[in-house]
Amino acid sequence: MFLKKVTDMKRIMSLCLAVLTAAVAPAAAAAASGAPGTSAASVVLMDGESGRVLYEQNAHEPRLIASITKLMTALVALESGHDLEETVTVGEACTRAEGSSLYLRPGEEISLKGLLYGVMLRSGNDAALAVAEHCGGSVEEFVGRMNEKAAQLGMVNSHFANPNGLNAEGHYSSAYDMALLARACLENEALAEIAATKSATVDGRVLTNHNKLLWQYEGCIGLKTGYTEKAGRTLVSAARRGGMTLIAVTLNDPDDWRDHTALLDYGFSTYAPVTLTEEGKAVARRPVSGSLVPFVEIQAAETVRIPVCEEDKIDWELQWDQEALEAPLRAGGSAGRMVCRVNGEEAACVPLVFAQDVDRALQPPGGIWTRLMELWNR
């Protein structure tokens, strides 16, 4: 791969200066004394849009996770293709689940949507098993899909053994992995709606969300609580303020409500979202050989924003797919990527594409035309 620093490109320098100016502007971020301490064994605070980690402690250490497992259960169920209005007949084995329960009865008929509300609000272990049996054909098959989804999301320190989070050998995750899962859950419109619901009535059952932050924290939009004696208290929360969504995860935290409030407050007071580049924005021009058009414009294929604070240092680098370009080129074709690093760590990678078609020139006989084009493109 051919690498080219953007520091020698006036257009990119202008973009960098604009971003850096925005990053250090007084309105962009409020000064903070530092991230708050927590009681958690593992913790992470992540930007929901970019995935940038704003604070972490033992974030990649595998631990028991209890009922926040059900975020994966709900996501896999909603991506299974089953209609939410489908009727689910509850199997007897589901009703024997230990722990928190929707108190389902053998043979009871309930909608898949109702079960998912029971999974997310009441944290029903019986409901999670019923969802798994219905959407996976069997609990074992469904758990396999949960692990496939974990691999797809890059949850490298996670493995699921059941859909409800009860303690089991080979059932674990990390704070960082659960934040990745939370990002995916928030991108699923149906799941995001359920996770943000404070209360609902399902087949005569009044369900109240266990997540107290929905009432206590301004802008809270979910997501899930958990507890077993071995795992301790686990919590995944998310809040949205000022165009920025933050995700907090704590594992084995006896004071999770206070800690999540402090973590989210720290994130919103210290960081502000800055647009690094916008879809369709020109970032460079590159010479092209073999065409009457001497240059092709390169543009960003995505809009990318990340949270920044006053102390952050932003650096750019362009990485080209090809060292030299030769016609023909097609609009929208891959040109490379623009890597943004914050304080030396990669924070975003923006795909770059050609802005327009560049056709190959029809050359008359003889070599003089080729020579003229070479001189023109220098």
DSSP 90-153: PPGGGGG--SS-----TT-EEEHHHHHHIIIII--HHHHHHHHHHHHSSHHHHHHHHHHHHHHT
Contact 239, 245 (CB under 8 A): yes
Contact 328, 357 (CB under 8 A): yes
Check if 67 is active-site.
Answer: yes
Residue 51 CB burial class (10 angstroms; 0-12, 13-18, ≥19): middle
Catalytic residue among 42, 50, 70, 224: 70
Residue 246's identity, in one-letter code, is: L
Three-state DSSP class for 289? strand
What are the distances in angstroms from CA 162 to CA 65, 72, 86, 169?
12, 10, 23, 10
| Beta-bridge partners for 234 | 226
Check if 230 is active-site.
Answer: no
Count how many Cα atoms sit within 13 Å of the Cα of residue 88 in the half-sphere of its side chain. Answer: 31
Catalytic residue among 42, 123, 158, 173: 123
Torsion of CA 116, 120, 121, 127, to 10 degrees: 50
Strand locations in the chain (E): 2-5, 42-47, 53-57, 87-89, 109-111, 199-202, 205-208, 220-228, 232-241, 244-251, 272-277, 282-289, 295-300, 304-308, 314-320, 325-326, 334-342, 345-354
- Residue 332's CB is within 10 A of a number of other CB atoms, namely 13
The token pair at 127 is 């409901």
Catalytic residue among 42, 50, 67, 158: 67
Among residues 175, 176, 174, 173, the alpha carbon closest in space to that of 159 is found at: 173
Q: Strand 295-300 and strand 345-354: pairing?
A: antiparallel
The three-point CA angle 320-326-327 to 5° equals 120
Among residues 249, 188, 209, 213, the alpha carbon closest in space to that of 124 is found at: 209
Residues serving a catalytic function are: 67, 70, 123
